[in-house]
Amino acid sequence: MNADNLTGLIGYLKQDQWQSCFEEVLGEHLGPALEAADISFEDLGDILGQGAAMSLWGCAFEDFLGQDWDNENFVEVYLKRRGWKEGPRKSAYMRGLKEAVMSLYEVSQIVPGQSMMVRDLLRGGDPVLVHERSATQSLKPWERIAARLVPEDGKMVLAGSLLAYSPQACEDLAENLRDVLKRKRGQAEFPKIKTDVLRDLAPVFTLTWLFRTMENMVSASEPPVLFNGDGEDLVFHDVCFPLSKGSTQKSIAEVLNTISCLQHAGRMIWNWTRQAGDHIPEANSKAEDSKAQFLSTTLDGGGLVLGTLELKGRQLRLQVNSETRAEQGTALLRNALGSLIGSPLTQIMTAEQAIEEQRTSGRGDVLEDEIPLEEEAEVLAAVLEQHYRRVLDEVVPGLGHVTPRQAVKTAAGKKKVAAWLKQIEATTAGLGLEGAGASFSFDWMWEELGIKGLRK
């Protein structure tokens, strides 16, 4: 909330006539979430921090300013009685805030401490230049915010209360808006909404953000539930078959090279794969948990890697990440190799054990000569660019299990790729690449994929 502009207006809220009206609006914005969590508004400051709690209060207050009560508006009543204290500049700002509408914006072209471009994701239209000092210091390109735009001294500025929307919160908002508006789920990420309709939906933004934030806080205290690409419990199996007497690596390799689901991946190394058209196991109901995380590897041709095989010394080693795959892989090798291999020994490690082993293994002695931060950023930038050049030709599940180059062949695919690229830019914005200078940029990806016009 812009305290300099609204101090008098906020103080006037203490009038009995208006206090009960505002409490009604505040209840619409926060009540359902507070009841679900069995907490009061006073508790929010301790749970979310005073800054977040005041932003939520401010969202309700800004909504209240645009409403009429018995044909009277709080702002107009205040200015009629106290406007002489405010002057024309502050009075104009208050009236602009009264007319402003909460919407969801995507930010870009950020100049820290000065300005940014914002695109309205619900009403459409061209991006708008917004002059803003504090928010531009922390926002990253393509992040999304729920906020109001207010004219001030011939420029557009942000109202004091804004909510930073995560990708999950954006998905929740789209679903909630469709439910409220009774719209069917369409191809567009968000429903298109007219200003007069959007004006009545302000509490949806606050409640969506608050419910998602509190749910994330609960989830953060619980470990993720890990599954492989088939939704099976993630349990690492290392199955070692001894080579039988008289067997050789050559004789084993000759057989393995005849098995269609094994793809040669290096000297005496094979990927055990399942192609897109093959039978997929029934999904594990536990994998529908909101905290579920999936680990899988997909080859360029679209095949899912089920495990790896390696011939080393007098052993054939099968590594998989579930009990089911261990059983299936063992049966596959027994049937194909028969007496060429002996009975296997299996080592099992849960995901939790693997994480703990990684955590406690340490990095060894710290090098005396640390890599300078600027050089480290340049190395990271080079690695990321090499990675993303390769990704353009790899299958991306979020694009409909096609490569980015394939996706941009359709209009709908181009929009999906643009959203995917924006997410990548937003994610990597916080990796400390500033030291890499202007050499690290995603511009080449937009140009190479032919969708530079969608980068707005």
For residues 121 and 106, is the Cβ–Cβ distance under 8 A? yes
pLDDT at 363: 47
Residue 283 inside a domain? The answer is no
Q: Where does the pLDDT of residue 184 fall: very low under 50, low under 70, confident under 90, or very high at 90 and above? A: confident
- Position 75 pLDDT exceeds 70: yes
pLDDT at 357: 66
Section 324-352 average pLDDT:
89
**Which residue among 221, 244, 270 closes a domain?**
221
For residues 319 and 349, is the Cβ–Cβ distance under 8 A? no
**Which residue among 221, 251, 269 closes a domain?**
221
Q: Are residues 206 and 98 in the same domain?
A: yes
Q: Tens digit of pLDDT for each residue in 371-413?
A: 455 555 565 566 666 667 777 777 776 777 788 888 888 888 8
Beta bridge mates, 58: none
Q: Are residues 317 and 381 in the same domain?
A: no
Beta bridge mates, 317: 240, 310
**Pick the residue with more confidence: 51 or 202?**
202
- Position 359 pLDDT exceeds 80: no
pLDDT at 115: 94
Q: What's the number of domains the chain is made of? A: 3
Q: Where does the pLDDT of residue 222 fall: very low under 50, low under 70, confident under 90, or very high at 90 and above? A: low
Number of other CB atoms surrounding residue 3 within 10 Å? 8
Instruction: Name residues whose C-beta falls within 8 Å of residue 224's C-beta, 6 or more positions apart in sequence.
Output: 291, 292, 293
pLDDT at 366: 43
Q: Are residues 151 and 252 in the same domain?
A: no
pLDDT at 372: 56
pLDDT at 367: 42
Residue 297 inside a domain? The answer is yes
Q: Are residues 435 and 328 in the same domain?
A: no
Number of other CB atoms surrounding residue 397 within 10 Å? 11
* Least confident range of 48-52, 130-134, 280-284: 280-284
pLDDT at 364: 45
For residues 6 and 94, is the Cβ–Cβ distance under 8 A? yes
Q: Are residues 336 and 377 in the same domain?
A: no
Sign of CA dihedral 264, 266, 269, 273: negative
- Position 3 pLDDT exceeds 80: no
pLDDT above 70: percentage of residues in the chain: 78
Q: Are residues 105 and 28 in the same domain?
A: yes
Q: Where does the pLDDT of residue 137 fall: very low under 50, low under 70, confident under 90, or very high at 90 and above? A: confident
Q: Are residues 311 and 384 in the same domain?
A: no
Q: Where does the pLDDT of residue 295 fall: very low under 50, low under 70, confident under 90, or very high at 90 and above? A: low
Q: Among 166, 307, 320, which Cα is nearest to 237's? A: 320
Residue 67 inside a domain? The answer is yes
- Position 242 pLDDT exceeds 90: yes
Average pLDDT of the chain is 82
- Position 451 pLDDT exceeds 70: yes
Residue 207 inside a domain? The answer is yes
Residue 367 inside a domain? The answer is no
Q: Indicate the pairing of strand 72-73 with strand 68-69.
A: antiparallel
Place of tokens 């007496």: 339
pLDDT at 438: 43
Instruction: Name residues whose C-beta falls within 8 Å of residue 415's C-beta, 6 or more positions apart in sequence.
Output: 454
Q: Where does the pLDDT of residue 368 fall: very low under 50, low under 70, confident under 90, or very high at 90 and above? A: very low
Residue 265 inside a domain? The answer is yes
Phi-psi region of 123 (alpha: psi -120 to 50; beta: other; left: phi over 0): alpha
Q: Tens digit of pLDDT for each residue in 116-128?
A: 999 999 999 999 9
pLDDT at 294: 53
Q: Are residues 260 and 167 in the same domain?
A: no
pLDDT at 58: 92
Q: Among 294, 297, 162, 154, which Cα is nearest to 232's? A: 294
- Count of alpha carbons within 13 angstroms of residue 268, beta-carbon side: 13
**Which residue among 360, 389, 410 closes a domain?**
360
- Position 299 pLDDT exceeds 70: no
- Position 67 pLDDT exceeds 70: yes
- Count of alpha carbons within 13 angstroms of residue 451, beta-carbon side: 26
Q: Are residues 329 and 422 in the same domain?
A: no
Q: What range does the domain containing 123 cover?
A: 3-221
Q: Are residues 108 and 69 in the same domain?
A: yes
Residue 235 sits in a domain of what CATH number? 3.30.1400
Section 161-178 average pLDDT:
91
Q: Are residues 126 and 86 in the same domain?
A: yes
Residue 287 inside a domain? The answer is no
Q: Are residues 166 and 30 in the same domain?
A: yes
Residue 365 inside a domain? The answer is no
